[in-house]
Amino acid sequence: MKKVIFLFLLLGFAYAVYSQSSYTNITISSSNSPEEPTICINPKNLNRVVAGANISAAYYSTNSGYNWTAFNLTNSSWGVWGDPYIIVDTNENFYYFHLAQGSPQGSWIDRIICRKSTNGGANYSNPGTFCYFQSGKQQDKESACVDPRNNYIYVAWTQFDYYGVLTATDSSRILFSKSTDGGLTWVNWDTATAKRIDNLGGDCYDEDNTVEGAVPTVGPNGEVYVCWAGPLVRNSQFGVFFNKSTDGGNTWLSSAQYIAPFPGGWDYMISGIQRANGLPYTCCDISTGPYRGNIYVNWTDSAGVNNHDVKFIRSTNGGVNWSAPMKVNSDATNKEQFFSSMTVDQKTGYIYILYYDRRDDISNAGATSVYISKSTDGGATFTDERISASTFIPTSSVFFGDYTFISAYNNVVRPIWTRLQGTSLSVLTAIIGVPTGVDQPVTVIPENYKLEQNVPNPFNPSTHIAYSIPKDNFVTLKVYNMIGQEVAVLVNEFMKAGEHTFDFYGGNLPSGAYFYKLTAGDFSATKKMILAK
């Protein structure tokens, strides 16, 4: 095993609390433009929460998400190229899956990498293992799950013959693999390919006619269920497709089942976002509650022009029959809902669906909120609740990623989403339910405004900036070069009174002197810092 090398960017994040929320919103990170986040609660220790974001961000919390430590995930052999996905087994080992960046052994996104952490996400095996490799093919959008009966790991993803092309010969397909030894080795049933579980593929253009969004889930007796979005060619319409295995992934239905229509397809345009991802999420209730064994599928699709909704279906008999698609979001408007994700609390059986929502966009400027829909009756009915403290307006000039994510256990729920303020991206969570024994941080209200000197200084590549505001105010924190050009916007939002911190990453800037300026109401302060590479 090679020595694990991690670049620690942030240590002991101080939390930033947004106003006007029924739930405390915590900023996990604002460094390196994070998006496409993932999150996972340890059911055996609800204080331990692990998260990640594109392209290589890793985060963990030891107090249920109030404070976070972050570092940059590197890979000594295959690189890191995003699509993070995190799961946990019953031995409290976390697994961080990601795409490869390219290496002497292969090319860009040529394999799905699995990294194991035995210490709650504080570090990961390096380089880890890969589920599968086939020279010349490209692998994308992986998802994973664990069977708690035996800790077998199941992974499904899309393979492209040649990503991003439209030809008669190139195709995409859904592949599947598993590990029975904690991610050390992977079962591939054919030396030329992993297990293929769709009988008809799509094209390679990474739009509606691909097959994408394969998310596996485990049933109460070890069944493996997978759903994904399928192309127009199958049934003369786009659709959600389903396959299942009752023997640990060794055999599958010979033909995937078409289980729901997908009006407009999974790839659509949202103002300020550009391409949005409506790909399905699949979950199964394996709790001891009354809905044990129910399979649930959630996605977003078009209800009309500029009106996408959150959809949901369920099966109560192992995928033999499915309910008609129902609209989850209860608003009576024709406003947009998009980027949904779903989880089942395997202690209570409750279903949680997270999504962006524009029902609060009164001026039609693109103001976006974050909502959760919850079902306590096996998906028969849902109730909505806004969890974001305030709206934000995304812009298509800033890539927003393709995903949100949510994790829940025993009424402790931790969603994760991306927020844009100005041109600065952050990933946030909300504190929904608190496990017993967690000491909630106490906000210190300072007497005066203050901007601290950054630490360390000089720095390379990151430095810690602290500031204090004695009352709620709109705050900006910006970085300028020596000729007064703005090079970074760190904070540009309404902040609550208290002591706040920001970790500035300067790895993309040249060495030299910079100024950072804090403005809050009538207060303004500027300090100098040195980036020395």
Q: Kindly report, residue by residue over 271-325, the tens digit of the pLDDT.
A: 999 889 999 999 999 999 999 999 999 999 987 777 899 999 999 999 999 999 9
CA distance 23 to 19: 9
Tell me what percent of the residues of the chain surpass a pLDDT of 70: 92
CA distance 414 to 299: 19
SS3 347: coil
CA distance 85 to 156: 12
- Strand runs (DSSP E) across 55-137, as ranges? 57-61, 69-72, 85-88, 94-99, 111-117, 129-133
Residue 103 main-chain phi, psi, to 5 deg: -160, 175
Sheet-wide strand order for 424-430: 25-29, 424-430, 412-421, 405-409
pLDDT confidence of 184, banded at 50, 70, 90? very high
**Measuring CA to CA, which residue among 136, 139, 131 is closest to residue 169?**
136
For residue 2, which amino acid is it?
A: K
* 149-174 confidence digits (pLDDT tens): 999 999 999 999 999 888 888 999 99
Cis peptide bond N-terminal to 325, omega within 30: no
H/E/C letters for each residue in 302-318? EEECCEEEEEEEEECCC
Classify strands 35-42 and 405-409 as parallel, antiparallel or unpaired: unpaired
Give pLDDT, residue 189.
Answer: 67
Determine the average pLDDT of the residues in 185-214.
Answer: 86
CA distance 294 to 315: 6
pLDDT(138) > 70: yes
Name residue, tokens 């001891």. 288
Minimum mean pLDDT among 316-320, 438-442, 515-519: which range? 438-442
pLDDT(145) > 70: yes
User: Alpha-carbon Rg of the chain, whole angstroms?
Assistant: 23
pLDDT(432) > 90: yes
Give pLDDT, residue 191.
Answer: 52
pLDDT(10) > 80: no
Cα 2 to Cα 70, 115, 125, 256, 371: the distances in Å are 22, 13, 9, 41, 43
CA distance 338 to 303: 12
pLDDT(443) > 80: no
Give pLDDT, residue 165.
Answer: 86
Give pLDDT, residue 103.
Answer: 62
Our measurement of the distance from residue 98's CA atom to the centroid of its chain's CA atoms, rounded to an integer in Å, reads 12
pLDDT confidence of 234, banded at 50, 70, 90? low
Domains and CATH numbers, the chain: 1-133+411-442 (no CATH), 450-531 (2.60.40.3080)
pLDDT(480) > 60: yes
* 31-78 confidence digits (pLDDT tens): 889 999 999 999 999 999 999 999 999 999 999 999 999 999 999 899
- Higher pLDDT pick, 334 / 122: 122
**Measuring CA to CA, which residue among 64, 19, 36 is closest to residue 412?**
64
302: number of Cβ within 10 Å: 16
Determine the average pLDDT of the residues in 341-350.
Answer: 98
What are the tokens at 380? 């028969």
pLDDT(175) > 60: yes
pLDDT confidence of 13, banded at 50, 70, 90? very low
The answer to whether the CB of 388 falls within 8 A of the CB of 25 is yes
Give pLDDT, residue 463.
Answer: 81
SS3 452: coil
Region of 169 (left: φ > 0; alpha: ψ -120 to 50; beta: rest) is alpha
pLDDT confidence of 206, banded at 50, 70, 90? confident
70: number of Cβ within 10 Å: 25
CA distance 448 to 434: 32
Give pLDDT, residue 332.
Answer: 83
pLDDT(466) > 90: no
Q: How many residues are given for the chain? A: 533
pLDDT confidence of 18, banded at 50, 70, 90? very low
Spell out the residues 6+ positions from residue 400 whose beta carbon is closer than 8 angstroms to its own: 35, 273, 394, 418, 420, 425
DSSP, res 459: B
CA distance 470 to 444: 9
CA distance 39 to 49: 7
Give pLDDT, residue 495.
Answer: 79
- What mean pLDDT value characterizes the chain? 89
pLDDT confidence of 364, banded at 50, 70, 90? confident
Region of 10 (left: φ > 0; alpha: ψ -120 to 50; beta: rest) is beta
**Measuring CA to CA, which residue among 405, 396, 344, 419 is closest to residue 374?**
344
Give pLDDT, residue 107.
Answer: 76
Determine the average pLDDT of the residues in 390-410.
Answer: 91
pLDDT(258) > 90: yes
Cα 90 to Cα 44, 177, 438: the distances in Å are 8, 20, 22
* 82-98 confidence digits (pLDDT tens): 999 999 999 999 999 99
Minimum mean pLDDT among 208-217, 360-369, 406-415: which range? 360-369
DSSP output for 125-155 = -SS-EEEEE-TT-EEEEEEEEEETTTTEEEE
The answer to whether the CB of 307 falls within 8 A of the CB of 291 is no
Determine the average pLDDT of the residues in 462-487.
Answer: 89
324: number of Cβ within 10 Å: 7
Sheet-wide strand order for 138-147: 138-147, 152-160, 172-179, 195-196
Give pLDDT, residue 21.
Answer: 52
